[in-house]
Structure 1
């Protein structure tokens, strides 16, 4: 029976990163993963195969298409006979995914990690080790890391199948739907809705909550919603879905809005109402692994479960379901197993929505800071006053800084605008080191760049913005 220092169950961002870091630290490591794409084993989990990576590839392709169709005329560029080859667009997306998933396989080989394709199941304890069924073969491990991720949550009225799809199905439409319905106005719903709206679909987004992006700063959410409505996305809030019926022609959705019953017809319906922990087939009940009432694996601050030698990280333990959060947990746990001080600062995890304009934030919103009893000051600066944004032809949005008025500690930064996914990183670094809005304001930013808006927003927190 093969024996390992570390056995990881799950090859997504949490699992494969934990395996790589463990191997770097000298542990004999294996990873068992049952994810398949097109019937073949494929490392990377949901994120690389049917989530983060393919969706961003399609977002980029669709944004280029829309830019050429509608935006380049202002640059003095005229394009005649513009055509879209959806098949080639989807093929490019697949190529990007293949390159990255193949890259993980290469990294496993480079770091001498044993990769096992199939289901990993906890079987029993054997002294200080655990017996795990790895794709039908029992192996031993001193430390087992559960990183099985999450699965899309189904709407009971609209189980997945046929014209009702989750994120993976929405990334593989073979033709552009004429009418597309989206249930859920969260990150995935808005991103996928944006892709197909740009490519020609009439998109309606139905949301049960009373407002848009309630986790984001109010000012950012309001600006983003205004921009998305300008683009033609049709939002409906406080919606209660009462019936979903499929036919050969599409999907009929009945819902109530403002006490009125509405019936709508769609060619396709994307259901994006969150994700649930994936523990099916793990053997949690058989070994007594502790789960909470929602099915998440219960862990302490060091990712230890109730069973000695078994740990859990990533989506399966809850919290922010973000690939970068899962990766950091993988690194932190591997380092803790090696006696190092691995740590994740959950207070400054960045959030990004890759729409156009992009949305990004980290730290506390203004409301959250005030609710915590802090004396708050804010600074805000628009991209419309930035030379690089004007040169790009995309001056939408702004950067908002939230700081403690008494200590000047930087509490949060919130952005909506061009390329803000790339701008949020420097603010996370400042907050990670407990820095101030003054630290951000005094940092020299190259001119002309979009990043100058971040500096100006920090200056504005002390009412000394230079270009407004």
Structure 2
């Protein structure tokens, strides 16, 4: 047999794929990465996390200029230039994709553009846009194809009217009324963007609380905060159909538990009920791999067959970009005989609304269900000096710790910069730390991070600033 041209060929250039390629290059592997899109970075960079954060940032500044600046002595009359806002977002994305291209060159990774699929053990076939096909010979294949928006039966996508998360990033004008189906991360982030820019936003959710997987106490406060901002919620409600016309969309909804149907009219409907693994047409059958009913590929330490590996959204665990990055490093290190491991219980979640929500570890509901005896410390941002000065007093920090050992079991933050603050909790929990470790560590003053410390103090009942 001819020697394989590559040590590893990675299908998909999202956060999982491109980080796997970087780590492979660092460890001396000859790697190639296959991407069907025109740019690297996958959903996250091109039509997901990054452009969404750009719009979140811009819309927050727009709202502050309208509502907060005068209060602190800055008098302006802002005018929305949506075209420029989109251009700024797109410029940021372009810069990031060029950064990934640079990292591929730096780590001597071959980039192959086209639709990649497995063509048998050690073979990846790539079909370019012009129909030409190339077969890459490799010792290892890594599946890093990510996920795609989950469609909703009875609600077919239609450009400009019934859209997915990608469509919500490129609307040419602010909708009068946007209906968001799904009160998860994507729906709430994008719904809050367009609400701040002037749209009426109604969120329809099948469950009885927002933020699937979120601690119930946080979810209640979070929904209350979003309601004060102007979002409207129809909870415990299912969507049964949709009709489009030149005027917009008419949704048919009814109570999730059953009951009388009603209609909701909007000019744009955003379907944000989650994402599903992208596994169709990958040639998995050529290596004896069969996804489960939901499309996920099971793995044993990221391995699914001889010389075939899987990481990120396409396999089990949290469907998050940073989880995919951890998978990538662990899988490549296992590939070369190193020790690779990812603890999915320590993968944080963040919703980048304003204020943000972030959490890691167990919720109170989970601890109760498991019969774990725990203690809780809680501290409001209303009592944090930096939050007060910045007029960011909504929300709180909650620390959950084992009642006997004081080991931190979960941390939940609803408030300013929650996504930045949660890193301290992740690190503490990674080392098996106690709430006292946080409570007795000096934090800079005045900062929002002191709220985390004060909440940790509260586990043992000695919160000092509230």
Corresponding residue for residue 151 of structure 1: 148
Q: Does 1:61 align with 2:67?
A: no
Whether the 8 Å contact between 1:119 and 1:281 is mirrored in structure 2 is no
Please give the secondary structure, in 2, of the residue aligned with 1:467.
Answer: coil
After superposition, the C-alpha distances for 1:355-383 in whole angstroms (9 at most, x for unaligned) are 01100000011121222221110000000
Q: Matched residues in 2 for 1:216 and 1:240: separation?
A: 20
Q: Does 1:27 align with 2:26?
A: no
Corresponding residue for residue 38 of structure 1: none
After superposition, the C-alpha distances for 1:158-211 in whole angstroms (9 at most, x for unaligned) are 121231100110000000000111100100000000000000000000011122
Whether the 8 Å contact between 2:184 and 2:212 is mirrored in structure 1 is no
1:241 Cα shift? Answer: 1.4
Residue 78 of structure 1: which of 71, 75, 78 is its match?
Answer: 75
Q: Matched residues in 2 for 1:440 and 1:370: separation?
A: 24
Q: Does 1:133 align with 2:125?
A: yes
1:35-184 mapped onto 2 (5 Å cutoff): 35=37, 41-79=38-76, 81-125=77-121, 130-135=122-127, 136-162=133-159, 163-184=161-182
Corresponding residue for residue 293 of structure 1: 293
Q: Matched residues in 2 for 1:332 and 1:431: separation?
A: 19
Q: Matched residues in 2 for 1:42 and 1:444: separation?
A: 44
1:213 Cα shift? Answer: 2.3
Structure 2: gaps spanning 5 or more residues:
128-132
Q: Matched residues in 2 for 1:259 and 1:295: separation?
A: 32
How many residues align? The count is 456
Q: Does 1:194 align with 2:192?
A: yes
Q: Matched residues in 2 for 1:58 and 1:271: separation?
A: 18
Corresponding residue for residue 268 of structure 2: 268
TM-score (structure 1 length as normaliser): 0.96
Corresponding residue for residue 453 of structure 2: 455
1:385 Cα shift? Answer: 0.6
Following TM superposition, the consecutive aligned residue runs of length 4 or more in structure 1 with deviations greater than 4 angstroms are none
Whether the 8 Å contact between 2:179 and 2:202 is mirrored in structure 1 is yes
Q: Does 1:349 align with 2:351?
A: no
Across the aligned residues of Structure 1 and Structure 2, the Cα RMSD in angstroms comes to 1.1
Q: Matched residues in 2 for 1:114 and 1:363: separation?
A: 38
Whether the 8 Å contact between 1:180 and 1:202 is mirrored in structure 2 is yes
Whether the 8 Å contact between 1:332 and 1:342 is mirrored in structure 2 is yes
1:293-372 mapped onto 2 (5 Å cutoff): 293-300=293-300, 302-305=301-304, 307-372=305-370
TM-score (structure 2 length as normaliser): 0.96
